[in-house]
Structure 1
Amino acid sequence: MRTGEPLPAVGDVLESLATGVWCWDDAERRAVLDAETARLVGLPPAPARLSEAAIRARFHPADWSEVDAIVQLALSEGTVSEKRLRVMDEHGRVLRIVRSRSRPVPDPDTRGYRLVGTLQEVGEAGPRAAGHTSDPGDWRRSREAFLLDAGRALAEARSTQEVLRVAAGLSMPGFTPDGQAVFGMEGDHLTVVGHHGQDPGEEGPFVDMPLSTDYPAAEVIRTGRAVYLSSPAEYKARYPASWSLAARFGRQSWAFLPLTVAGSSMGAWMAAFTYPVAFTPDERSVLTTVARMLAQALSRAVAAESERELTEGLQRSMLPRLGPQIPGMRIAARYVPTGGGLQVGGDWYDMIPLPGGGNRFALVIGDVQGHDVRAAGLMGQLRIALRAYASEGHRPDAVLTRASRFLHGMTHGDMTHGDDGSDPRFATCLYIEVDPSTGMLEIARAGHPDPAVRMADRTVLLRPTSGGLPLGIDPDADYPTTRLVLEPGETLLMCTDGLIETGGHDLDTGWRRLRLILEGHDGDLEDLADSLVQGVHGPSSHHSTGPLADRREDDIAVLLLCRTGPGGGCDGAGAADGTRRTVRRAVLGVAQAEPERIAGARHQLRELLHDWASADQVDSAVLLLSELLTNVLVHTDADALLVAEVIGRGGPGLRGHRRTVRVEVTDVSDDLPHKRDPGELASSGRGLVLMEFLADRWGVDPRGEGKTIWFELRERETERETEWEGERERERGRERERT
């Protein structure tokens, strides 16, 4: 061609090179082919317009399955997509191999793209890039398995450091980087979020680097396009100003890819290799996919960390200070939120000073229905209301009645939630007034789990209390009060159901698990609070989320109240060696209108004697108690007060160390019991007969108003000794009859 002659037409050039032209519309999913392209794909040599199914049928399925990934890669990089494809005939044989080259053009109207490209016939594919297997199917299977594992591992990462740790452990098929770094940005400066494969401190020159610096990661963040550097020479030629920073690491190839989420750039990812990498389309596709998953994982981790920071702030603002220590009492508390959402919920605890002078105070623990921000908001309002009612001097039952009316009015009168104009919620609550001077506890309960008491010798009893409906259900609900006495050295446990029921447990099995922790703990009150939380869920810090919160099924709130003993201790060491003198004491009231509490009293006595040597004696004690309480309710108009004590040393198997159980039932009736001969068919009159036969000692003590009937049993260590004592008692009975 001589200088000055016009260039040949494009069509003539393409025809002379046997190159076809085609166009693909992603919105319509149709391809337009010229005559040469039609011929190359095995159709008559004439222009054609084919559907996606028709054009797909002309190529090998394995080759076609990779086309979309290559096009998406070219779209993200703004480069040309290139792919070798096998054209198949009607009999499934390879007709020819063609090379397709195209540039995707985004379509802003449809959010899709259009492809305009060329098609040429080529020979067999050349040598494969280093790291590929000889079989392209093996490469694809390895890549798919790697991406599946990487996606699963990154999806489970919950923090930025965990994401970086997972990324550092990824083993890419055939080309695993030995160095990685994640760059972020603060304002107009580059930051290093984390790195792997470099020594600590080596990231120094890259921290606080201006985004205008001639450095690949800075360019990637500025432009949003990946940078691939296959050799040191290419790196030095493109980025001479920053080559000296990279040269000292001894790497041979680098890939810098954007970390983009929802169209917004959040940083860049560097993968560096100690051997040359050609960065073929397959390799770039894998790296691009990993970068997308990494960006998503980092975005989730950053959001989760922000939520945890918000949670901790909410916790600090909502959780109360327990205040100064009360003389004669020690208090410990723990709160751990749920692991879902913002990790806030409706569980709370509080300590409220009471009016009237002295050191009297109230302990409150509760749980508002739900695990969301609304539950947390209602909890804060309800807590303030309870403090206000308690500070006004109301009794426990009146405090809960007013609180129930308050919550009912808030949730049923709120017209901003729910399909019916309301968002009804309820709350469980346990409210206890404490008199430190006497250890008296006045308890009102609204649908909350009962408290438990660990005695001085570590015996643990669940203390049943009277209760009413949860707060907010019935504005006129009543909440009866139960009185208990916390003896010196005893510890009261109050908790929400999250501590009991986590791990698939119900209330029964959950309490048994807590009881083992309480009975086996040997430390102070703060250590006991930690042990209760850690024994259920694993390690955690005080009032923090930490790794524990990631496995949380429900919020946890725990309150411990200990009445210090004569030595001032609350460590439960009274029976550590099994030889110290110990006292177990249970006090329970049984009203005329509450005959069902007799069953609770029997249960309490069995719990008190859980380690008694003789099972027959335990049965005898329970039988005698039932007789005494029933007699009070049947033959008087008074209520009964039960006091049961275990006094003595050690436990079973300690010869010469005997314990005694003393049971007293007091009422205000002046009618003294008298022994009768009931006869074989009588339905009553056997109480004192059983007392004389089964008890070691018993008696009736008149008081100023009313009387106390009591009995004692001395612990027998063996069944043989029990039989001997029984025979001796029968002999005494025969002697009395002869007399």
Structure 2
Amino acid sequence: MRTKDLLAAIATGLWRWDDATGRVSLDAEAARLLGLPAEPVELGEAAIRSRFHPVDFAEINGVVQLAVSERTLAEARLRVVDTRGRVLRTVRSRSRPMKADGGFVLVGTLQEVPEPQPGTGSAHTPVTGDWRRSREAFLLDAGRALAEARSTAEVLRVAAGLSMPGFTPDGLAVFGIEGDRISVIGHHGHKHGDERPFTEMTLSTDYPAAEVIRTGRAIYLPNPDAYLERYPTAWPLAARFDRVSWAFLPLINAGRTIGAWMAGFNHPVTFTPDERSVLTTVARMLAQALARASAQESQHELSVGLQRSMMPTVQPDIPGMTVAARYVPTGGGLEVGGDWYDMIPLPSGRIALVIGDVQGHDVRAAGLMGQLRIALRAYASEGHHPDAVLSRASRFLSGINETVQGADPRFATCLYIEVDPATGLLDIARAGHPDPAIRMNDGTMLVRPTSGGLPLGIDPDTDYPTTRLVLEPGETMMVCTDGLIETGGHDLETGWARLREIIERHDDGEGAEGLERLADELVQAVHGPSSHHRTGPLIDRREDDIAVLLLSREGGSCGVGTGGRMPRQPVRRTVLTVAQAEPERIGEARRQVRDVLHDWADPDQVDSAVLMVSEMVTNVLLHTDGDALLIAEISGERGGRRIRVDVADGSDELPHRRSPGELASSGRGLMLMELLAGAWGVDPRGDGKSTWFELYEDAGAGGADGPSVPGSAGVPGPEASGGPAGPSGGPEESVPELA
């Protein structure tokens, strides 16, 4: 009997599909099964497509491609339909694809699949629509979950939780490559230590995973006999897990085999084409997820290495002072940017604290930051003053910008602070950077305005004036980059308000421990808890780099005690210089007074204090040749506190009362002092004078109920040209700044 006659007797037809020409040849039985006349015929691909259910035909290409890659048979169940789309029968196609020029040639058989009888096992086996819909939903969910996994551990957790439609593995293992050996990246469904025998294998070992990595082809073992027959040497290692079916698939990314995936089953799996297709798709997604996670982890490791190499370790043993610092890189990419801090021992025995931010969040910004940090260290170590250090650094960065071809110039903000640990004296030069903030003895935070120039690298001839402040015993200075202030959609004003709340509610600890805790609280308030305490970056996405540096001077009354109660009320004090050349700083003087009085009981008294300060400072700038030194100090228990404000100048001319006309624009300063102050006066000094006033919290607005004490220099006479001058309007909003 001929082969054709034998196949016809068992209702099996032959077909040949040439993908390159798009022609399909059918014998008589194959034609009959497809609803055509029972005679040999050659048709085009479109005519054959019309004989199959569209959902089933769409999957043939995937099944064939899978068989081509695995060099196995292509099996598929296909529903045959008539011209009206009604299902006539279901056929099983079994064929072996062979590569050919321009495509493949498929040669195989078609055989009718009998309808399952009710009550039989096969009646419950999903073979078409429902199973395919479940598979598609599973693959969508698996793809989404694997795409969102950001680390190797997360990828393995997702893989372990995959519940495949109809056949769920109870054991998984992912193998990698280390030189000429295989490694176990992770596993599920095994006890700890079960992976050890597999970590000693070379790639030449007669073990399924090793062969898959060598050849790049999947291996399916549907039963223990198949495993034992093909891998007798490795069988004892697998037998102890009591599984009955195994699938080993290559993990291929960008055309390169990066490992193997083992799925073990405790129930028989025949590995039909549909099941193999699911496993192959999962393996492909798993390989991409592992490669992506590996790249991110490599970048993270590189960024941490760069971060640790660029960020110095601050000295914890400065006499009388404590320092804490944090650096948190931006999320994504190499996680490196242009923010930095530094601490430099100076030839004078002082310490320089530096914090800065190079424009950008990329490798170039990190490289420029490293160069600029080294340059600043060199200039500081030569003994230059703060203004000279920044001027030289600006010329250095401008020179780099000029020599880099085809790249946009970069600038950098910087704050340079020379610290005298013995006295707490701070000499500050600022290049476009946020001002420092001081946490005073009673826990109040004030942003301290400082003079400044343009960011580094913009104008090589920019001058950087120096501001001198004193860090009192028990006070803490914070300097930071704008990432700490503006993250989360904040601007400078709302960002500082957020930080003020954190700093003022912080409970101090003992020395360095309390300062380290404050540094953590500042970072965590912006980004949440870090999984890498102090040494590593946070794991969430970040908008900008963060660098923060804290300096605390020991002594004094250090903050809030247990339960937020003050053991004793320290003095709250702020000092500000307003130079003749900087009349715009009168507005800063008003803001400083408002900040000092932020918790004062009577808002009218706050407005009065702001108005009197504006009058006093404006008078110095108008009627003397020197600068105005403002000192505001609050003392006493809350509810009964006193604020004393002194404005000193270099003129020895005492003010006296004047009688301004109705339309006069000046001459009402002393009248305001008498009306608004609880006490006021003028104290002569060897190098000038100090005009002062006091307000009392329990006296109410206007100061009428407080002590009425004229100045210690005697009762001022009529106002002269050296007296207070300026408008006599209401609170701050009605007091114009000098132009």
Q: Do both share a fold (TM > 0.5)?
A: yes
Letter in 2 for 1:270: M
Aligned match for 1:622, one of 610, 615, 627: 610
- CA distance, structure 2, for counterparts of residue 70 and residue 386 of structure 1: 65
Q: What's the counterpart of residue 587 of structure 1?
A: 575
Aligned match for 1:488, one of 453, 461, 473: 473
Q: Is the CA contact (8 Å cut-off) linking 1:130 and 1:277 kept in structure 2?
A: no
Shift of 1:401: 2.1
Shift of 1:210: 3.2
Aligned match for 1:63, one of 41, 49, 56: 56
- CA distance, structure 2, for counterparts of residue 472 and residue 488 of structure 1: 36
Aligned match for 2:68, one of 57, 71, 75: 75
- CA distance, structure 2, for counterparts of residue 683 and residue 12 of structure 1: 121
Q: What's the counterpart of residue 418 of structure 1?
A: none
Letter in 1 for 2:69: S
Shift of 1:186: 2.2
- CA distance, structure 1, for counterparts of residue 188 and residue 665 of structure 2: 85
Q: What's the counterpart of residue 461 of structure 2?
A: 476
Shift of 1:223: 2.5
Shift of 1:674: 0.8
> 1:398 and 2:388 equivalent?
yes
Change in CA separation of 1:521 and 1:727 when aligned onto 2, cut-off 3 Å = closer
Q: Secondary structure at the match of 1:210?
A: coil
Q: Secondary structure at the match of 2:197?
A: helix
Question: Matched residues, percent identical?
Answer: 67
Q: Secondary structure at the match of 1:73?
A: helix
Shift of 1:13: 7.7
> Map of 1:18-57 to 2, 5 A cutoff?
19-25=13-19, 30-33=22-25, 36=28, 41=34, 48=42, 50=44, 53-57=46-50
> Map of 1:423-434 to 2, 5 A cutoff?
423-434=408-419
Q: What's the counterpart of residue 726 of structure 1?
A: 704
> Map of 1:380-529 to 2, 5 A cutoff?
380-415=370-405, 421-522=406-507, 523=509, 524-529=514-519
Q: What's the counterpart of residue 5 of structure 1?
A: none
Shift of 1:458: 1.0
Shift of 1:455: 0.8
Q: What's the counterpart of residue 313 of structure 1?
A: 305
Shift of 1:525: 0.9
Q: Which moved more, 1:632-641 or 1:89-98?
A: 89-98
Shift of 1:15: 8.0
> 1:105 and 2:98 equivalent?
yes
- CA distance, structure 2, for counterparts of residue 58 and residue 216 of structure 1: 40
Shift of 1:688: 1.2
TM-score (norm 2): 0.88
Q: What's the counterpart of residue 122 of structure 1?
A: 112
Letter in 1 for 2:676: L
Change in CA separation of 1:409 and 1:549 when aligned onto 2, cut-off 3 Å = farther
Shift of 1:169: 1.2
Shift of 1:283: 1.3
Q: Is the CA contact (8 Å cut-off) linking 1:334 and 1:542 kept in structure 2?
A: no
CA distances 1:297-336 after superposition (whole Å, capped 9, x unpaired):
1111222222222122212221123246221221111112
Shift of 1:514: 1.5
Unaligned runs of 5+ in 2: 716-739
Q: What's the counterpart of residue 636 of structure 1?
A: 624
- CA distance, structure 1, for counterparts of residue 123 and residue 452 of structure 2: 72
TM-score (norm 1): 0.88
Q: What's the counterpart of residue 718 of structure 2?
A: none
Change in CA separation of 1:629 and 1:723 when aligned onto 2, cut-off 3 Å = closer
Aligned residues: 700
CA distances 1:346-382 after superposition (whole Å, capped 9, x unpaired):
1111112223x3x312111111112211111111111
Change in CA separation of 1:157 and 1:74 when aligned onto 2, cut-off 3 Å = same
> 1:690 and 2:672 equivalent?
yes
> 1:229 and 2:221 equivalent?
yes
Q: Is the CA contact (8 Å cut-off) linking 2:695 and 2:703 kept in structure 1?
A: no
Q: Is the CA contact (8 Å cut-off) linking 1:443 and 1:481 kept in structure 2?
A: yes
CA distances 1:181-206 after superposition (whole Å, capped 9, x unpaired):
11223233332211111121222222
Change in CA separation of 1:576 and 1:175 when aligned onto 2, cut-off 3 Å = same
> 1:291 and 2:283 equivalent?
yes
Q: Secondary structure at the match of 1:702?
A: strand
Q: Is the CA contact (8 Å cut-off) linking 2:315 and 2:323 kept in structure 1?
A: no
Shift of 1:114: 0.7
Unaligned runs of 5+ in 1: 2-7, 416-420, 653-657
Q: What's the counterpart of residue 245 of structure 1?
A: 237
Runs of 4+, deviation exceeding 6 Å: 10-18, 127-132, 727-732
RMSD of aligned alpha carbons: 2.9
- CA distance, structure 2, for counterparts of residue 728 and residue 558 of structure 1: 43
Letter in 1 for 2:417: I
Letter in 1 for 2:402: H
- CA distance, structure 1, for counterparts of residue 486 and residue 168 of structure 2: 46
- CA distance, structure 1, for counterparts of residue 689 and residue 127 of structure 2: 98
Change in CA separation of 1:574 and 1:680 when aligned onto 2, cut-off 3 Å = farther
> 1:681 and 2:699 equivalent?
no
Letter in 1 for 2:53: H
CA distances 1:441-487 after superposition (whole Å, capped 9, x unpaired):
22222222222111111101112222222222222223222222211
Letter in 2 for 1:24: D
Q: Secondary structure at the match of 1:539?
A: coil
- CA distance, structure 2, for counterparts of residue 724 and residue 467 of structure 1: 37
Q: Secondary structure at the match of 2:422?
A: coil
